Amino acid sequence: MTPLIIVTLVLLWQFVLVGYTFTLAGNAADEAVRAGTAAHPGERQAACEQAGLDKLSDAWKGGAQVNCTTGGGYVKSSVSLKVPVLFPGAVAFPFTVTGSAGAVEEAKN
């Protein structure tokens, strides 16, 4: 019975990590798009990337990819994170979780 309980706990923990990675990706995309809308168009990608990675811990920051695009007065950001296997910062699964966000570009007077 003990091995079954341990396997169940390990699986539950892994599902928690997957869900947490989705939450982190969405939050990082929100932060990135907020910074991107306030930045000048030439500095937008750098501001987006910095803001998207800023609040991620080192365990998720290593394989993270942040991308911002602009079109028609609308800024979109996309953040891809790798899902860790059991322990954040160790081995990651071969797939990524993506979070995306969008906002209207701030008017420059």
Q: Which residues of 42-77 are buried (b: 16+ CB within 10 A; e: fewer)?
A: eebbebbbebbbeebeebbbeebebbbeeeeeebbb
- The helix/strand/coil state of 1 is coil
From CA 67, how far away is CA 4, in angstroms rounded? 42
For the entire predicted model, the pTM comes to 0.82
What CA dihedral angle connects 31, 36, 37 and 43, to 10 degrees? 160
Beta strands in the chain (DSSP E): 65-71, 74-84, 92-104
Q: What is the tens place of the pLDDT at every residue in 13-60? A: 989 988 998 999 999 999 999 988 888 878 888 888 888 888 888 887
Give every strand in the sheet of 65-71, ordered side by side. 65-71, 74-84, 92-104
- The helix/strand/coil state of 5 is helix
Q: What is the tens place of the pLDDT at every residue in 57-93? A: 888 788 888 988 888 888 899 999 988 887 776 777 7
Instruction: State residue 61's pLDDT score.
Output: 81
